[in-house]
Structure 1
Amino acid sequence: VLFRSNSLPLHRTLLSALSKNKKFWDLIGGCFRLLCEEYGALCGKGRRFCVSRVALSMMSTPKLGYLVDVVEECCIMVALDIVRGLNSVVVETNGWARPSPLVMEQCQEALSCLYYLLQRFPSKFTAVGIENGLIPTDSTLLEMVVTVILCILKSCAFSRDCFVAAGVSFCAALQVLLSPHELGFLILGAVFEQNVSSFVGNCDNAYKNAAAKVPYKGDLCFELRNFPPLSRLCLIRGILTAVSRTVLNFQFDLHKDELNGSCGDENDRRCVRTILYDAILPVLCKYCENPTDSHFNFHALTVMQICLQQIKTSILGEVFDLTSNFNPIPEDLGARIIRIVWNNLEDPLSQTVK
């Protein structure tokens, strides 16, 4: 009863009071464990997202750190509850159903919970030997997670908040298996279609190995390059949010043969490439300069604001090496950014991102 669906305010109030006495900690943890066992993905007794909604509520409630161990213990069951719920919504949308705003809110909450689990307990998603038939023998938990997130990002039926949460969760899922360098190669090569074979070192193989590490039955690179515009924008937002500034600012050296005898000028013949300045920023400029409508323009400006904030924080935090000859924002790119800001100062839709 403590964790039943539709009782979020109730169980938060009760938990906050009971948690003040340590003798109730085991009891509360046992209640959540029982909820996962009786209403999780294996039994399917509860409503959609029954377990994950409670988990997210618990994790976002102050002073409940003692429940972290219980959430970790039940992480797989919570993640499967999320995957099952999201898959059911995807199936409905594939049948041309239009989910209600409440369902969209539940999907967004489930994806937020998934992001927390991927960030906090990454080893749980790569564990082997999971018993009780929770996961099909021809699949893995991480593959199920990646697949359902890609299905959402490929769809046009989900809300903007769902796309944002899916983009962040996808980046978190990639980081479960990939090293920072591998993640950088995959983002540059698969998402932004940079020619990684022009980089110094055995980068082409590193890129292919990184793509092969991601568990997905399909062409991952093709999927990432062919998202609808809003989904692609939200994926970029996820990269800016979930990927470390070290990766965003890492300088990938180019072969001299690719420079045509010039290095570091402003004619796109630079000695190095970065994700933040050479991949994300030009794409965002293009989106802001050529929006499909005012709604898309608002979201593009929002992501541009996040990007500029990351640039500012990187420079102030000395993540970016200002002593190098690399000019992160050439004059022509800087002029484009200023023009975008100027042209949107009076746009009422951009009030929240000014």
Structure 2
Amino acid sequence: MTADLDSVCEHAGRPAARLTRRDVARALLAIPSGQALVAIPDLRRAMLAEGNPLSAAFWDSAKATLAGIENGVATVGDVQRWLEATGTEPILITRGYFIWPEEGERGPVATELHDRLVAHLEERVESGEIDPDRLAAGDTEAREVYERVQDHWLATPLPDGRVPSAVVGEELDEELFATWDEEEAFALGELRRVLADLPEPSFPAAELEAAARRLRALLAEPGYPGNVLRACAGLDGEPLPESDTELWLMVAAGVASPVSDLQDDDEHQFWDLEGELSEEDAALAALCTIHHADWLATVAALARRGPGVLASPERIARLVAESDDIDVDMDDPEDLETTETLFTSVTPLWQQLGIVDDKAILTRLGWWGLPKSLERAWAPE
């Protein structure tokens, strides 16, 4: 693409007389900054000849931004701010904390509503409510108006009853859930492939009975770790399963895939922005952060090695880094440290379940039950 008027019109999908500052800015950003800088004078004259000269403030801001890009001093934020200063570019993150998906990641709903918001902003520029020249100059009041217009539009029902911010969020959630389901299904298939080549461990009846007895008592106690294990298993006041095996697998599976959050009350709020996370909140946050690949690499490695192997957080991080079951590059010491930190919240819960002992050594119960619990966590309901 070049930056002549015909190319800009083709890029924007509209004739020269209807081009907006946003149209021109996006076209200039689509080509190398040096080429765009050279093209500005001719493009400006061509726009003037078409009766759509834009404004001196816009062209000055375009030259300043493109020069900053060419010289390597303009940040991504600088460029985004300039694009938003055209008056018709939806704000990436609004004052109401609404975030538009990246352009290449928008679904049909987000694409439609993003275009509708652009059209709405064009109307507000035409009416004079939004002033792009004042935005380009960094006028605080103009920026507040610009942000307020967008927040109001996002929260106001359309004629068909849809609230833009809500339906875009719903579409994004659906896409995230679909991606999560795909990753989970793939991980489950890989887990079953690994287990198919391994001997079936014998059922540790005595160890399971003892672990279930301790677990029932623990789940009846307030505070950590009982409350975390209850949340992991989704046990919210209903009777516990009578079967020891069912109860144990339910809780062990929940550690790998927590079912619910901690129950909020006056003394416990997960999102306490003024303080540090409690022990139980930190544990649940870590469990929810561990990737399918890390669980797969960990459980596959332990299943192959059998009882007696060390399963400390440090060893687990190394097992993940050295795994042939997943495609992961963990040469960076920070990656190892992150994995180790996350599994620091796992091993104490495993110890409560009898999966590892007090020295973080894998037990016969853990060798038998870990693969089964992970399979249960990932299997479709």
- Scaled by the length of structure 2, the TM-score of the pair is 0.27
* Greater gyration radius: 2
